[in-house]
Amino acid sequence: MDSTIKGDGAIRRTSVYGSSIENTYAGVLSFMRRNYTRDLTGVDVVISGIPLDLATTFRSGARQGPAAVRAASVQLSELAPYPWGFNPFDDLAVIDYGDCWFDAHNPLTIAPSIVEHARTILASGAKMLTFGGDHFVTYPLLKAHVEKIGQPLSLIHFDAHCDTWADDEPASLNHGSMFYKAIKEGLIDPATSVQVGIRTWNDDFMGVNIIDAPWVHAHGAQATLEKILNIVGKCPTYLTFDIDCLDPAFAPGTGTPVPGGLSSAQALHIIRGMGPVNLVGMDVVEVSPAFDQSEITALAAAHIAADLLCVLRNQKIR
């Protein structure tokens, strides 16, 4: 008798490994149908969402991002991911932890709530792949990761914006200044960090290596990947992907779109080459479904996240 679980594996599967058979148009929408659970026993990677958009400087709506990315991931659960050709969940134990809870009506408590959410997960030894929410969420996530790792991290930051504009208000919520604060506080090492896809100006990039979008277009995705790998080396690295790194033609559903960005193909080529990087944490942020068209922004974010999981699977078994 066939014992394969058919339908709603996210709440019926008992093992954190393996997959179930699902109708892509139905069922519980965890990310890639992973178990919905807060049991961290034996888990390699924890998916969670942070539905915050109070730090946006233009269009709100990214609070709906985690739900949209989960919904867009249904197609990725149907077949072995391309171009990998394997089921990453045969070897990598991944769960969907649900969303970080915070009191949106008490803004000064939001960042500490995110830090505590991350601390709980990281204490288990699992890595985090987090969906925003606006890009501010990376700042408290970095705090928790640096606390766990015990040293400043290198940052691989995909974005149209450098997010290092000056902001010396310690309690401010601003998705354009959190890396200014992170550098000032010693959370990231700018000399071994890199920002990719930048196409907005700042008078002071604070020593971070910049690979702007025109450079990527002129030199190609492979040269960009090689440059990233040379910059971060073997340093413990946090990877953050703001979906507005992509051109609005590929990611219209975001809060601050900027023309001239990377294509989905360029971004995925680079992400798939992250195998040599010592990845300690990852996030994909700024998906804003209200401005999306046919879910193409959420779909791009889901593919980026799925490829990161495939990278981690290969790192585990090598």
Q: Is 287 helix (H, G, I), strand (E, B) or coil?
A: strand
Provide the b/e sequence for 90-114 (b: ≥16 CB within 10 Å). eebbbbbbebbebeeeeeeebbebb
Residues 6+ apart with CB under 8 A from 42: 16, 93
Place of tokens 């490829």: 307
Q: How many CA atoms lie within 13 A of 136 on its CB side?
A: 23
Residue 163, marked binder: yes
Q: Helix 264-272 crosses helix 221-232 at what angle (to 10 degrees)?
A: 40
Question: How many CB atoms sit inside 10 A of residue 218's CB?
Answer: 9
Residue 90, marked binder: no
Q: Which two tokens stand for residue 207?
A: 């020593």
Residue 117, marked binder: no
Instruction: State the Cα–Cα distance between residues 18 and 32, nearest whole angstrom.
Output: 11
Residue ranges for the binding site for Mn(2+)?
A: 135, 159, 161, 163, 242, 244
Residue ranges for the binding site?
A: 135, 159, 161, 163, 242, 244
